Amino acid sequence: MLDFTLIETGEEFEQFCEELLLKKGIEIISKPSRGPDYGVDILANVTVFDNLGIKEKQRVLIECKHFARSNRSVRESDIGNVIERAISTNCNKYLLITSTTVSSVISHQLEGISNNPSIPISATFWSKNDLDKMVYEFPDLKERYFIKTSQSNTALDLNIEPKINLGIHSHPDFTQELNSIIKIWNSKQHHVLFSIIRARRELETQLISSGSISEDEASSIANKMRDEAGFNPDDGIIQFCEKRLFGGPYYQLFASGTEHDEEPPNTATISLQFMRLLAENEKNKETTIHTMIIQSIIHVISTGIGLNAHDETRGCIMDFDDNMTDILVGLKNGPKYCNSCEKQILRMGAEFLLELAKSAREYLNSIQDTSKTLIRMELRDKRKEVSGDDYDFDIALSFAGEDRDKAELLANALKNKNVNVFYDAFQKAELWGQDLYSYLSDLYRLRAKYCVMFVSEHYSQKLWTNHERKSAQERAFKENQTYILPIRIDNTEIPGLLSTVGYLNWNNESVATIVKLIINKLKNDKTATNNV
């Protein structure tokens, strides 16, 4: 078996992939380049024969992922929206090349893309095992990349590979902000590899609903989230909770966690409820919350590698204080270590911590508008007071563009009845600038009480409606209760939507009747909840 850890950097792995493709007779259109590639490492042409034996060229988007040194699989968060990127680059095919393997989620996702006739691309991957077989056909390639001298082997002692795989819980109130700082951290250092983890609704609800939670309960939830995301048991995970976090002699904790030799290992929970209390009387409340979130992540990483917190207040990331006023001293300084901690970090050889703090300060100083996180938090608080639940919307509408006239009639009628409805035209400001693939996935999986789906021939053929449908069906499957409310415009069959599921027929119902039925369903849910 080839030792892919001998390829030292991602750029060198991309170069290796380019040479392998050329040797296999594949025409390279666009070569790897330095800097951000936005998920496009190589563009190529391949020659194929159609069913009639006619020769044609197809354009391929090729993405290269080199995780051999951390020995982890490629996850969903690593590749994002494959379909959107392939279409935007005019490609018929997508190929993922990895020096390890892919998670089962990615394997099924790529297989599903290829098997879905409504998606105009095919997708596949080459894993370490595939590359191993291919390289043996080309001895010169094997010698150049996988047979190193003793001098070059010595260079492997450099700390350029990730030592820590760390999943960060994608809290719905600040997913976009987390994505931004994580991209910066991953580009600035190579000791910690950050990834976003999205929790299923059941786990998410346990964390972001009101109440209290023990540190043991919180660690158990983090462990389940890590396992379901396809991480290794020893990988770290940091999650956020809205509950009062307590443990041991402490009624209220800022954060808690488990170490590598505890069960479950390497988990951390950060209390947003405590952050709200701290920021309540601050003039720049939203900036304070942002700083606390980022500073808490760095604090958790620091303690995880053995840097000790100190009781006295120094305005340092490692302050451990019992008084809120003391904690605020450090927050006003921004993510920063005191001189004593900096010296200890240098003695430990953990300079990457200084880079995390420095880049965090630069990021926080560059943010023009920090109000969105606070607005989302406050809106969710209001929804809890009114409805008693944690959903952002009562109803999310899913429809094809060709059926917008019908969706708009229903959306306006629901809005007039004070139903909190997600309809894209109502949320233009919120959608502007968002990663729509992630945003809509979270919306239909987590943020609505019900999904009203306009079933039609157009709906079955669209890429975005298929993405929305799969997210909604994932939620319905996991919760095993009513979530999707279909309205049939015609008799088109939708994958995964059983013919036995009750539906309304748009042509047989009035908008007023549909609105009345939706309101009754929402009222029945509240009654049932209140009777529990």
CATH number assigned to the domain with residue range 391-531, chosen from the 4 options 3.40.50.10140, 3.40.50.150, 3.90.1150.10, 3.40.720.10? 3.40.50.10140
- Of 430, 431, 420, whose CA–CA distance to 396 is shortest? 420
Q: Mind spelling out the 3-state secondary structure of 374-388? A: HHHHHHHHHHHHHHC
Burial of 50 (0-12, 13-18, 19+ CB in 10 A): exposed
Reported pTM: 0.50
CATH number assigned to the domain with residue range 4-157, chosen from the 4 options 3.40.1710.10, 3.40.50.720, 3.30.930.10, 3.40.1350.10? 3.40.1350.10
- Of 164, 174, 162, 161, whose CA–CA distance to 301 is shortest? 164
Give the pLDDT mean for 164-168: 89
Per-residue pLDDT band for 531 (boundaries 50, 70, 90) equals: very low
Q: What is the pLDDT of residues 494-518, one digit of tens each?
A: 887 777 788 999 999 999 999 999 9
pLDDT for the residue numbered 359? 94
Report which of residues 341 and 382 the model is more confident about.
Answer: 341
Domain boundaries, given as residue ranges, for the chain? 4-157, 164-372, 391-531
Q: Mind spelling out the 3-state secondary structure of 149-202? A: CHHHHHHHHCCCCCCEEEEEECCCCCHHHHHHHHHHHHHHCCCEEEEEECCCHH
pLDDT for the residue numbered 523? 83
Per-residue pLDDT band for 358 (boundaries 50, 70, 90) equals: very high
Q: What is the pLDDT of residues 444-479, one digit of tens each?
A: 877 788 999 999 999 988 888 888 888 888 777 766
The helix-helix angle for 10-23 and 139-146 (nearest 10°) equals 170
Per-residue pLDDT band for 385 (boundaries 50, 70, 90) equals: very low
Q: What is the pLDDT of residues 418-431, one digit of tens each?
A: 999 999 999 888 78
Measured between alpha carbons, how far is 294 from 8 in angstroms, rounded to an integer?
A: 30
pLDDT for the residue numbered 403? 94
The CATH fold assigned to 164-372 is Collagenase (Catalytic Domain) (3.40.390)
Cβ atoms of residues 520 and 478 within 8 Å: no
Phi then psi for residue 274, to 5 deg, are -65, -40
Cβ atoms of residues 225 and 239 within 8 Å: yes
**DSSP string of 345-396, one letter each residue:** HHHHT-THHHHHHHHHHHHHHH-S--HHHHHHHHHHHHHHHHHSS--SEEEE
pLDDT for the residue numbered 298? 92
Cβ atoms of residues 41 and 17 within 8 Å: yes
Measured between alpha carbons, how far is 212 from 230 in angstroms, rounded to an integer?
A: 28
- Dig out the tokens for 297 from the structure: 């992540």
Q: What is the pLDDT of residues 110-134, one digit of tens each?
A: 988 888 877 888 999 999 999 988 9
pLDDT of 390 over the 70 cut: no
Q: Which residues contact 386 (CB under 8 A, 6 or more apart)?
A: none
Q: What is the pLDDT of residues 210-265, one digit of tens each?
A: 778 888 889 999 999 998 888 888 889 999 988 888 876 666 677 788 877 788 88
